[in-house]
Every structure is written in structure tokens, then in C-alpha cells.
Structure 1
């Protein structure tokens, strides 16, 4: 019997990929690249979004 998929709302800004590692272009002393870890400001790193209340969607 097939399993049902969970209907979890995904963040529209990051599409569920809430953190990203960005290289700075410099290297550490052992030769690896220095990276910055950046989180999505919209979902604050959770990857999920909450639905807007009905009054906000209606523009009131």
C-alpha cells in the first residue's frame, strides 16, 4: 500500500534549502577553502513557512 506524502509548506524564498555554504575565495592553512554559512532570512533556517492568516491575504 502506498505511503502518503506529508504536506509540509516549503519556504518560497529558499525552496526548502535553508542554509548555504559560500566560499570566500581564501584558503585555510591546511589548504581547504574558507566558507560562510548563510541561513534564509525569510524562514530563519527552518526551510518551512507558515501560511498567512486570512485577513493578511485579503489585504485588510
Structure 2
């Protein structure tokens, strides 16, 4: 796998878990998992040459 640049939107932290403050019945926290919109959870940037399509 080639060395790809890190996504500049998320700095490589492509998935985060945010607590809502609530808890489940077993005592664990309720979490929302959010994925970076720019890299779709890969943590790497798509080179501009590949991302550019068309004229």
C-alpha cells in the first residue's frame, strides 16, 4: 500500500465517538459514532489527480 497523505479535515482521526450523556440499562454510555465526511472514514486524503474527474 503506498504512503498516502493524511486527511486534512480530520488529521487521521476519521471516526470519533461522542457521548450523549445518557446511559444504557447495563450502565454503559450512549455514544454517537461520527465518520469524517471528506475521507469517508479512511483517514487518508484522496490525491487531487485521482479525485478530479471530467473537464
Place the TM-score, normalised by the shorter chain, in its bin: 0.7 to 0.9
Name structure 2 gaps, 5 residues minimum: none
Equivalent residues, number: 49
Kindly report structure 1 stretches of 4+ aligned residues shifted beyond 2 Å: none
Name structure 1 gaps, 5 residues minimum: 1-5
Q: Could you say what the CA RMSD is over the residues aligned between the two structures, in angstroms?
A: 1.6
* TM-score, structure 1 as length reference: 0.72
Larger radius of gyration: 1
* TM-score, structure 2 as length reference: 0.78
